[in-house]
Chains A and B, each alone.
Chain A
Amino acid sequence: MSTPGRPASSRHLLGVWIRSLLWTFAESVVAILLAVVLGGIGIFLFSGLLPNHSAFDLGLPIAAYGALWSGALGYPNGVGSTLSYATPLILAGLGVGLGFKAGLFNIGGRGQFLMGAIGAMAVVTLFGQSLPGLATIVLALAVAAIFGGFAGFIPGVLKATSGAHEVVTTIMLNYVFVFATYWAISGPLRLPHSPQPITVDVGTRASALGTINILGWNLLGRDAHWGVLLAVLGIPLLWFLLYRTTLGFEIRAAGANSDAARYAGMKTRQLVVLTMSMAGALCGLAGGTTLLGVVHQIAPGYDTTIGFDAITVALLGRSNPIGIALAGLLLGGMRAGAQSMQISPGVPGELVDALQAVILLFLVINLLRRWRAMRHVDAPTVAPAEPYGLGAVPAEVSE
């Protein structure tokens, strides 16, 4: 971007961009490294408890991480599995991150995801036999986004009209949508003549539809599906929305200081509704792609932890689309590698949950430090300016 003839400030932006990039992700990288070290110490300390391992086995952490790595990346099935896990994490992470940018804490990812899955399922149930395969997929994903968007729209409207806090309303609505899923599979979406409440299998329909199994992407093994394209598209689109459009400017302004945004003539209430709807739509797409690409069927007890995983992804990625993509790939890879780690050195796959929790913990601690830094007079100098969405620019001191 630094070409001669541009105004001086434009050239300057490149330096700002790079500096802010480093600053933005430094904390995340530190959190990940600390989690890996702590996890390694944990494996070392408890290695005696595992069958076929001696106590305090120094080689075990290395073997476990090696298996995790190769399980996530080592062979085509591993990469496919990583992408498959990463797809909903990235999509829902973008949804939560968009909320963060607007100053909204969307904990409704779980409900929005489920609504997205129901929406996609409804399309397959209703139109799976009458529409061509590709049209079914496109329509199913569009309806997934609409259903998820509606699940985000409700808390948005509640906040805009009554001031009800989205943390409270999204958590409460999660239960509504969990039970709505129950109702849907035992009522309108129930497989006819089935002894139990369960939906049609997308795969069974797929054979009739022909092309729906395009979502099984054989190049990358059995797990990868075309849904990853949506995540890949969503990343630059959200970045573009936030940093290149006036709407994105309004969203970020309302998130950073909604009073100032309102005084500057922005319609902050409408922005709340719009942002929550868009966030819900992204989480709904996570649900839709997971249904079509991975689970194929909604059975009793179908649920997801995506709501909280996506919060980790958004925090780890600093609410920045590129960061969210990297964070989604990391956590997706950890999920994918967990199985092979469990098989070969025999370290329980739950280690991955522990790592994720420790990462989140360190992230939150760092957030606290930043919060203190902003309040504390002596704290030098990290001001969260973010000209191009890459977080804090190390700043000159004010006084």
Chain B
Amino acid sequence: MTGEAASIPALEMRGITKRYPGVVANDHIDLDVRRGEIHALLGENGAGKTTLMNILYGLARPNEGQILLDGQTVEIAGPSDAIGRGISMVHQHFMLVPVLSVAENVVLGAETMANGVFLDTREANKRIAEFAARFGFALDPEAKVGTLSVGQQQRVEILKALYRDARILVLDEPTAVLTPQETEEIFALLRKLADDGRSIIFISHKLYEVLAVADRITVIRRGRVIGERKPGETSEAELAELMVGRAVELTVDRGESHAGAPMLQVEGLRVGDDRHEAVPNATFEIRAGEILGIAGVAGNGQDELIEALIGLRKPSAGKVRLGDLDVTGFSPRAMNEAGVGYVPGDRHRFGLILAFPVFDNLILTSYYRAPFARGSLRQDSAVLESADAQIEKFDIRVPSSTVATSTLSGGNQQKVIVAREFDRPLKLLVLDQPTRGLDVGSIEFIHRQIIAKRDAGTAVLLVSAELDEVMEISDRIAVMYRGRIVAEMDGRTADKSQVGLLMATGGDARPEEARA
């Protein structure tokens, strides 16, 4: 790639400015992406990465600035226009129809018809096979998307882009839902696509990933380009500082665990119905002042285990003890009152009522108790006072507790949940992916809060599909595979690739199951 043509970037965004009332989401952003390059866009949530990509994809109009494709100024009218110009986006949340086949999903919206009437998937099958051979991945075009693993579904999304002749491929946080092995596979695929002459914009806030996969890194903070780096010339620490604007501790020192008496004891717990026994037989314990991390690929029974522990599902067999109290089959409220805090994995769906003001979300589990209620009457002055105190204590960045929770950034929304669940004495804290999709600053904050809770004598159960998180703060790690705990190990000495392997295969460690 030398000569005149190569010096013209495939994509150039010049002086892009996007203002929303009261906020400048993009402030004169310059970005250029070359042919065959993987260009990482690094920034915290709310930094303006998504806005910039929405402008590129035609979902938003910039107030100022130009977009140039192969040196030509273009106006992008909307997503279909963007796709027509060879720009494709792979969203964090897949846009796939689970009941349709791979081929049907790929052609959706760009169907070719046989005889003008019937959907012609033969052409699609052929091209999918071609792509698969060229880029070295296996996908059965006839398979129903709903039966595929998350990593495979992502490949379907990428196939969709390739099928539409994408020259510029935008991937928004593509690794958020993948196992380490799947992540490596997707990186290899991206490299092959780049070598094929395509340009890839890789949006992420994970520093090591960006260093591993990108050719160039542009860091954005508060709507501005803060710097551009090459992976060989920078470090995680420098990138984090650029991103956050201050030095950040990337791994919170988990310190010593002073584990006490067993706090949570789970014995022979069985969860599930006749059709699907999600957790056949779980036995484990967590001691007071200890963090047990559960590593596992999503969908291996973690959700059901958690739901049983917080009272949303009645276990079909087994016992759950909390301290001296048998809490088997308790309702969510009874669990909450027994001293169980819970941070759900999907904060928008399960953790918050986005339309409600922040102060209402802060009392979502305690609204009926003093001081927030007297009898059945709400006590708003107590609610507001407590909200202001928690906003201060948990550093929730919000103009006032009365704004809709939907207007907060992801990190601040999660802090609302953390404030609600952490700000009282707890026996057990159940955390489901507590830092999913958050920026490094918020992750650091939440990890500190978790460790503070542990040091105050709470037993902590941390479930995360992000192995790094489990490795970083757990005192002990259990690996869950197909509803069973297949291995347990010390959190400080565990080997990442070994845990990854156990997550993916369950290992041969069957005897360990009985130990626990």
Q: Which of B23, B48, B352, B376 contacts A247 (CB 8 A)?
A: B376
Q: Say yes or no: is A51 at the interface (Cβ < 8 Å to chain B).
A: no
Instruction: Quote the shortest CB–CB distance from B392 to chain A (angstroms).
Output: 12
- Cβ of B68 under 8 Å from chain A: no
B105 within 8 A of A: no
Q: Name the A residues within 8 Å of B384 (CB-CB).
A: 7, 9-10, 13
- Choice from B21, B48, B349, B376 contacting A260 with Cβ under 8 Å: B349
A265 interface contact, C-beta 8 A: yes
Is there contact, CB below 8 Å, between B45 and A399? yes
Give the most central of A9, A16, A253, A377: most B CB within 10 Å.
A9
Task: Give the residue of B51, B54, B402 whose beta carbon is less than 8 angstroms from that of A12.
Answer: B402
B486 CB to closest chain A CB, in angstroms?
Answer: 28
Q: Give the docked Cα–Cα distance between A174 and B391 (Å).
A: 49
CB distance from B187 to the nearest CB of A (A): 26
Contact of B404 among A7, A243, A266, A384 (CB under 8 A): A384
Q: Check A246/B368 contact, CB under 8 A, given A384-B404, A385-B357.
A: yes
Q: Cβ of A380 < 8 Å from any Cβ of B?
A: yes
A393 to B381, CA, bound (A): 20
A385 pairs with B404, CB closer than 8 A? yes
- Judge whether B403 and A393 touch: CB under 8 Å: yes
* Chain A residue contacts of B137, Cβ below 8 A: none
Within 8 A of A (CB), among B317-350: 331-333, 335-336, 342, 344, 349-350
| Contact A9–B349 (Cβ < 8 Å) | no
Residues B402 and A385 in contact, CB atoms below 8 Å apart? yes
Within 8 A of B (CB), among A361-399: 376-378, 380-381, 383-387, 393, 395-399
Which one, B27-35, B153-161, B406-414, is touching chain A? Answer: B406-414
* Chain A residue with Cβ nearest B391: A9
B129, CB-defined interface residue at 8 Å: no
Residues of A within 8 A of B354 (CB): 256-257, 383
Can you list, as one digit per residue, whether each of A257-291 has a CB less than 8 Å from chain B (1) or not (0)?
Answer: 10111111110000000000000000000000000
Known: A262-B312, A393-B403. A399 touches B376 (CB 8 A): no
Complex contact A249–B406 (CB within 8 A) = no
Which residues does chain A contribute within 8 Å of B50, judged by CB atoms?
377, 399
> Is B356 engaged at the interface, CB distance under 8 Å to the other chain?
yes
Chain B residues within an 8 Å CB radius of A12? 400, 402
Please name the residue on chain A nearest to B55 by beta carbon: A378
Distance in Å from the Cβ of A139 to the closest Cβ of chain B?
A: 27
Is A265 within 8 A of B20, CB to CB?
no
B355–A385 touching, CB < 8 Å:
yes
* Chain B interface residue bracket vs A: 35 or more
CB of B409 within 8 A of CB of A377, answer no
Docked Cα-Cα span, A393 to B331, in Å, equals 35
A193 at the interface (CB under 8 A from B): no
Most central of A253, A260, A261, A378 by chain B CB within 10 Å: A260
Say yes or no: B312 contacts A263, CB within 8 Å.
yes
A257 to B348 CA separation, bound complex (whole angstroms): 9
Q: How far is the CB of B304 from chain A (nearest CB, A)?
A: 15
Q: Is the CB of B54 within 8 A of A380?
A: no
Q: Are B355 and A246 in contact (CB under 8 A)?
A: no
Neighbouring B residues of A6 by C-beta, 8 Å? 381
Q: How far is A29 from B356 in the complex, measured between Cα atoms in Å?
A: 24
Decide if B48 touches A399 in the complex (CB within 8 Å).
yes
What residues on A are CB-neighbors of B20 within 8 Å?
380-381, 397
* Interchain CA distance A246-B333 in the complex, whole Å: 15
CA distance A393 to B335 in the complex (A): 34
How far apart are B326's CB and chain A's nearest CB, in angstroms? 19
* Cα-based distance from A260 to B406 in the complex (angstroms): 14
On whether the beta carbons of B378 and A249 are closer than 8 Å, the reply is: yes
How far, in angstroms, from A257 to B349 measured CA to CA in the complex?
A: 7
Which of A253, A260, A377, A386 lies in contact with B54, CB distance below 8 A?
A: A377
Beta-carbon contacts under 8 Å, B425-472 to A: none
In the docked arrangement, what's the CA distance between A364 and B384, Å? 35
- B388 touching A383, Cβ below 8 Å: no
The complex places the Cα of A248 from the Cα of B177 at a distance, in Å, of 38
Residues on B with beta carbons closer than 8 Å to the beta carbon of A386: 355-357
Stretch at the interface among B209-217, B276-284, B358-366: B358-366
CB of A264 within 8 A of CB of B332, answer: yes
Chain A interfacial positions (CB closer than 8 Å to B): 6-10, 12-13, 16, 243-247, 249-250, 252-253, 256-257, 259-266, 376-378, 380-381, 383-387, 393, 395-399
Which residues of B are interface residues toward A (Cβ below 8 A)?
20-23, 25, 45-46, 48, 50-51, 54, 59-61, 310-312, 331-333, 335-336, 342, 344, 349-357, 359-360, 364-365, 367-368, 373, 376-378, 380-381, 384-385, 387-388, 399-409
Ordered by A's residue number, 12 sampled pairs between the chains whose C-beta atoms are within 8 Å are A16-B400, A249-B378, A256-B353, A260-B352, A265-B333, A265-B335, A383-B354, A383-B403, A384-B404, A384-B406, A385-B357, A393-B404
The 7 closest A-B pairs by CB, nearest first: A385-B404, A265-B333, A383-B404, A397-B20, A378-B60, A395-B407, A9-B384
A-B contacts besides A9-B387, A260-B349, 11 pairs, CB < 8 Å: A13-B384, A16-B400, A246-B367, A252-B356, A256-B354, A257-B354, A259-B350, A260-B364, A380-B20, A393-B357, A397-B20
